[in-house]
Each structure stands twice: as structure tokens, then as C-alpha cells.
């Protein structure tokens, strides 16, 4: 399990998606917008904005944490690079 720590800036629902070939619609997903300080090799840091999809039942857990630092359990999809610090 991985945990991402950052400042919660916003909670929003993405737009619904319609497949142009099949005309099948998918409802938009609820996302947390998280500002994360990412450490750099030179000792500095950069701010990175992440939009994290969360299950609807977990939204209430974060709804009172706007502009506060939070921890979010995350999984990884696709290719991502990590390095030791």
C-alpha cells in the first residue's frame, strides 16, 4: 500500500463520458485535487497537482479537509518512475 500526502485543494466530479461509437454513457467520477510537495535530488522540492479518483463512499472522509494536509491511500495505474531519496 502507498500513501500520498498533500494539501487537499478541491473535491469535484468529472464530466460524464459518452463513447462516440457505442453511445454508451459513463457517469463522471469523484476526484480529490491534491497539491503534493515532491522532493528533488538537489534538496529542493516542486509542487505537483494530482487528481485522484476516489470511491463515492470515501468522499465524506475528506469533505471537511479542504486546504488541510491529508493522507490518501493510493494504487498505481500505468507506468510511473520512482527513485530513492
In a domain, 80, yes or no: no
In a domain? residue 83 = no
Query: Is 60 exceeded by the pLDDT of residue 82?
Result: no
Classify residue 81: in a domain, yes or no.
no
Is a pLDDT exceeding 70 seen at residue 71? yes
Count of structural domains, the chain: 1
**Nearest residue to 34 via CA among 20, 52, 13:** 52
- Asked if the structure places residue 85 within a domain, the reply is no
**What's the average model confidence in pLDDT over 47-69?**
93
DSSP assignment of 15-74 equals PPEE-TTT--EEPPPEEEEEEEEEE-TTS-EEEEEEEEE--GGGHHHHTT-TTSEEEEEE
Domain residues for the domain of 67 are 2-16+27-74
Q: pLDDT digits over 7-57, tens only?
A: 999 999 999 999 889 989 999 999 999 999 999 999 999 999 999 989 889
65 located within any domain? yes
pLDDT of residue 78: 74
Total-model pTM: 0.80
Decide if 84 is inside a domain.
no
State the pLDDT confidence band at 81, using cuts at 50, 70 and 90.
Answer: low
In a domain, 10, yes or no: yes
Within a domain: 37: yes
If phi over 0 gives left and psi between -120 and 50 gives alpha, with beta otherwise, what is residue 78?
Answer: left
Amino acid at each position: 500500500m502507498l500513501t500520498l500526502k498533500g494539501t487537499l485543494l478541491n473535491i469535484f466530479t468529472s464530466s460524464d463520458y459518452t463513447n462516440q461509437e457505442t453511445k454508451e454513457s459513463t457517469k463522471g467520477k469523484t476526484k480529490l485535487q491534491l497539491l503534493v510537495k515532491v522532493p528533488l535530488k538537489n534538496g529542493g522540492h516542486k509542487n505537483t497537482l494530482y487528481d485522484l479518483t476516489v470511491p463515492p463512499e470515501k468522499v465524506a472522509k475528506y469533505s471537511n479537509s479542504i486546504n488541510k494536509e491529508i493522507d490518501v491511500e493510493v494504487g498505481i495505474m500505468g507506468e510511473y518512475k520512482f527513485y530513492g531519496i
